């Protein structure tokens, strides 16, 4: 059976436990995660326990768009320019501020069973950390250290997601017995600084206990470098405006600490054989489908399995984004705002002055554009046809009894009904694997992200030269020429440098579940002087609020019959970035588009409320969520977050920004 860092199949695991361990063990696990005194004397049992905790943390992580440990919802990604559609928290007709509207992520009151929730997962980590050195003293010391290292890492990332959701939360580092009378367990919400200090301490401890690499049989388990890289990510978030009112100070200790953590992680990972994978855009695309074996780019990886079985966890991403004509879920439409975002081939911004044509969007773009997106006329192979060229356009024909030519029926080429001329292809396997039960691993943290974290810290500190150097490394790897700082140009000040970093993250990390967290920590939805939020104006960018994601049909110019007017005509066209004559193929496709297509508006806008076009409207209090009513009622000593109502309807008092 394929061993997995964050997946040990539940049904198989329970079968093994049921046949190999005592019934008392299973009963103990139900009894609030306790174990008997002999449990840690058996390394096999401890392995099962560790793997089961990995499973509890990551079993829902089946798409790169999914975020938040244990929850793994894709909702956050739908509140950025990457995906259209009006989510509740950006819906202008909805306002959340009552405790009943708060986030349920915190968890539910302890009842007669444990649920897979944040503090349950923390408890399981605490249990092993507390007990393995005493009850498992007979086990090899190195083994015990590595076991604890994994628990410290897992506890840290759980607290990190609690922090990103709520700001400060109670810190629990010991196994506590449920009690309605023990006053010592009534822990208040710690400050954000205290939570960060705990997370950093856990990651430092993990780094001291974990190996730089694991044997191939344990590939995917957390390493020393992963712990250091995660520390850099945490401290970058802590230095960002959401949590740092002093973010604009180039001498801020928080930016310096985040920078040093990033550099330390870079050194450790480089020494351990990690780094940017490959030297071409093709390598960049191919790395995403390296499966269950070492990839230098993958700092942390979610391993998944191939096959149609209840005991196998599949990657749902590729099946969802493949077109209907390929047997997939129908395709992931790309909003116009995302299409128009990617740089030109020389790295410059996509402006008319730089030669960008919004209709011929595929001409002369950043090499990553052709590996992130597919469009009509491009080659996008799949399991049944590795040479497949995809087409997704619309045409209209006059209804048989139509009174006027305005009365028409719409048809879609190859039954690909998709409301954008561009659709996502990133992280798909073009070599014929069965994407309907995909086992493609998900790279949760890539080396490129670490370099971008470091670049951003340099930018915030006003060190523009080093910022550009790190951005250049990311661009050079995919083949962007070095001229004019890899197309970045001359950055006039730290604000332009920060924006250049945020821009590069939108390109390099597109559709990897990272954009929402960048928007959140920089508070890019809006400026609100009453809340001390003015980062959009400081960086010189337009707030996301008041914008909308838009879609268009790629439509045949004329009204014709019900037969596809381009069937047969299009057969000689196919653009493939791997071909030596790619530039000529693009030019031929541009001529074909000009001769045959126009963009047509959607009948129902991509962002709409009840069918009417709507603009994004994120409220200031959403950046940090309020606790839900049940958590406040059950834990009456907990303060509600400022901007949210408490269980009695009063104003929240907990200031996450200190």
Q: What is the pLDDT of residues 253-283, one digit of tens each?
A: 999 999 999 999 999 999 999 999 999 999 9
Number of helices followed by number of strands (H, E) in the chain: 20, 12
The answer to whether 616 and 525 have CB atoms below 8 angstroms apart is yes
- pLDDT band per the 50, 70, 90 thresholds, residue 182: confident
What is the per-residue pLDDT for 180? 74
What is the per-residue pLDDT for 179? 73
The span from the CA of 272 to the CA of 402, in Å, is 70
The span from the CA of 68 to the CA of 84, in Å, is 20
Q: Quick check: 28 pLDDT over 80? A: no
Q: Quick check: 325 pLDDT over 80? A: yes
- C-alpha 269, offset from chain centre: 21
The answer to whether 642 and 568 have CB atoms below 8 angstroms apart is no
Q: What is the dihedral angle through the alpha carbons of 625, 121, 111, 134, rounded to the nearest 10 degrees? A: -140
Lowest mean pLDDT among 23-32, 336-345, 447-456, 648-657: 23-32
The ranges assigned to domains in the chain are: 317-440+552-601
What is the per-residue pLDDT for 25? 37
What is the per-residue pLDDT for 446? 98
Q: Quick check: 108 pLDDT over 90? A: no
The span from the CA of 64 to the CA of 82, in Å, is 13
Higher pLDDT, 280 or 33: 280
Tabulate helix, strand, coil % of the chain (nearest 5): 40, 10, 50
Q: Quick check: 178 pLDDT over 90? A: no
- pLDDT band per the 50, 70, 90 thresholds, residue 440: very high
Lowest mean pLDDT among 452-466, 474-488, 549-563: 549-563
Angle between the N-to-C axes of helices 494-508 and 464-477, in degrees from 0 to 180, rounded to the nearest 10? 20
| Neighbouring-strand partners of residue 512 | none
The span from the CA of 72 to the CA of 66, in Å, is 5
Q: Report which DSSP code applies to 494.
A: H
Q: Quick check: 658 pLDDT over 90? A: no
Q: Which phi and psi (to 5°) does residue 32 adopt?
A: 60, 35
Mean pLDDT of the chain: 92
Q: Which long-range contacts (CB under 8 A, 24 or more apart) does 321-325 make?
A: 321/423, 321/424, 321/425, 321/428, 322/382, 322/428, 322/435, 323/390, 323/392, 323/414, 323/416, 323/418, 323/423, 324/414, 324/415, 324/416, 324/417, 325/390, 325/391, 325/392, 325/414, 325/415, 325/416
Residues 344-390 have pLDDT tens digits of 999 999 999 999 999 999 999 999 999 999 999 999 999 889 999 99
Lowest mean pLDDT among 22-31, 134-143, 345-354, 467-476: 22-31
Q: Once rounded to an integer, what is the mean pLDDT over residues 167-195?
A: 91
What is the per-residue pLDDT for 3? 34
Q: Once rounded to an integer, what is the mean pLDDT over residues 44-72?
A: 95
Three-state DSSP class for residue 67: strand
What is the per-residue pLDDT for 447? 98
What is the per-residue pLDDT for 30? 39
Percent of the chain with pLDDT over 70: 93
Give 376's contacts (C-beta < 8 A, 6+ positions apart): 390, 391, 392, 393, 413, 421, 554
Give 454's contacts (C-beta < 8 A, 6+ positions apart): 232, 259, 262, 263, 266, 470
Q: Quick check: 450 pLDDT over 90? A: yes
| Neighbouring-strand partners of residue 645 | 651
Residues 383-410 have pLDDT tens digits of 889 999 999 999 998 765 444 555 678 9
Q: Quick check: 1 pLDDT over 60? A: no
Q: Once rounded to an integer, what is the mean pLDDT over residues 436-446?
A: 95
pTM score, two decimals? 0.94
Strand 442-446 to strand 612-613: parallel, antiparallel, or no bridges (unpaired)? Answer: unpaired
What is the per-residue pLDDT for 406? 58
What is the per-residue pLDDT for 112? 56
Higher pLDDT, 401 or 562: 562
Q: Quick check: 297 pLDDT over 50? A: yes
For 45, 456, 494, 569, the CA distances from 250, given in Å and listed in that order, are 50, 12, 9, 59
Tokens of 283: 């390598």
What is the per-residue pLDDT for 22? 34
Strand 408-412 to strand 394-398: parallel, antiparallel, or no bridges (unpaired)? Answer: antiparallel
The span from the CA of 350 to the CA of 174, in Å, is 53
Q: Once rounded to an integer, what is the mean pLDDT over residues 228-234?
A: 98
């Amino acid at each position: 059976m394929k061993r997995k860092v964050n997946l040990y199949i539940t049904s198989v695991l329970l079968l093994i436990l049921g046949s190999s361990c005592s019934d008392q063990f299973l009963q103990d696990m139900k009894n609030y995660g306790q174990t008997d005194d002999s449990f840690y004397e058996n390394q096999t049992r401890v392995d099962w326990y560790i793997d089961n905790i990995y499973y509890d943390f990551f079993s829902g992580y089946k798409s790169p768009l999914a975020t938040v440990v244990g929850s793994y919802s894709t909702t956050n990604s739908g509140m950025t320019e990457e995906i259209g559609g009006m989510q509740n928290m950006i819906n202008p007709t909805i306002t959340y501020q009552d405790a009943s509207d708060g986030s349920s992520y915190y968890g539910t009151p302890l009842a007669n069973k444990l649920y897979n929730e944040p503090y349950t997962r923390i408890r399981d980590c605490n249990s092993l950390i507390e007990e393995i050195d005493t009850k498992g003293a007979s086990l090899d010391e190195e083994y015990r250290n590595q076991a604890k290292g994994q628990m410290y890492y897992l506890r840290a990332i759980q607290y990190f997601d609690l922090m990103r959701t709520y700001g400060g939360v109670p810190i629990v580092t010991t196994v506590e017995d449920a009690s309605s009378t023990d006053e010592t367990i009534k822990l208040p919400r710690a400050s954000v600084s205290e939570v960060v200090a705990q997370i950093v301490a856990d990651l430092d401890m993990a780094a001291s206990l974990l190996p730089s690499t694991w044997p191939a049989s344990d590939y995917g388990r957390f390493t020393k470098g992963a712990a250091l890289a995660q520390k850099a990510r945490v401290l970058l978030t802590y230095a960002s405006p959401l949590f740092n009112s002093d973010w604009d100070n180039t001498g801020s200790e928080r930016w310096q600490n985040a920078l040093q953590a990033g550099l330390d992680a870079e050194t450790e990972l480089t020494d351990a054989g990690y780094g940017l994978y490959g030297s071409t855009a093709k390598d960049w695309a191919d790395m995403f489908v390296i499966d269950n074996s070492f990839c230098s780019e993958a700092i942390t990886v979610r391993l998944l399995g191939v096959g149609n079985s209840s005991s196998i966890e599949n990657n749902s991403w590729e099946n969802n984004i493949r077109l209907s004509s390929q047997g997939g879920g129908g395709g992931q439409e790309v909003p116009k705002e995302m299409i128009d975002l990617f740089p030109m081939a020389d790295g410059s911004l996509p402006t008319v002055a730089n030669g960008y044509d919004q209709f011929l969007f595929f001409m002369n773009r950043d090499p990553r554009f052709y590996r992130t997106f597919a469009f009509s006329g491009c080659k996008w192979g799949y399991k049944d046809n590795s040479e497949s060229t995809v087409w997704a356009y619309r045409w209209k024909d006059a209804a048989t009894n139509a009174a006027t030519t305005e009365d028409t029926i719409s048809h879609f080429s190859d039954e690909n009904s998709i409301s954008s001329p561009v659709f996502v292809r990133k992280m798909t396997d073009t070599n014929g694997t069965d994407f309907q039960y995909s086992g493609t691993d998900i790279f949760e943290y890539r080396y490129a992200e670490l370099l971008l974290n470091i670049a951003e810290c340099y930018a915030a500190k006003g060190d523009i030269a080093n910022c550009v150097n790190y951005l250049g490394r990311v661009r050079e790897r995919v083949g962007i020429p070095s001229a004019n700082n890899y197309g970045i140009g001359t950055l006039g000040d730290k604000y332009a440098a920060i924006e250049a970093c945020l821009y590069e993250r939108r390109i390099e990390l597109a559709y990897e579940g990272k954009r929402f967290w960048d928007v959140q920590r920089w508070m890019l939805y809006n400026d609100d002087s009453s809340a001390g939020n003015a980062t959009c104006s400081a960086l010189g960018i337009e707030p996301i609020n008041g914008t909308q994601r838009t879609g268009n049909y790629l439509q045949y110019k004329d009204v014709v019959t019900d037969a596809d007017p381009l069937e047969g005509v299009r057969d000689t066209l196919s653009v493939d970035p791997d071909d030596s004559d790619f530039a000529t193929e693009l030019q031929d496709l541009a001529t074909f588009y000009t001769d045959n297509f126009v963009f047509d508006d959607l009948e129902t806008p991509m962002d709409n409320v009840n069918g009417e076009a709507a603009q994004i409207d994120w409220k200031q209090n959403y950046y940090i969520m309020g606790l839900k009513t049940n958590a406040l009622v059950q834990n009456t000593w907990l303060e509600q977050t400022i901007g949210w109502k408490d269980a009695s309807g009063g104003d929240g008092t907990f200031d996450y920004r200190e």
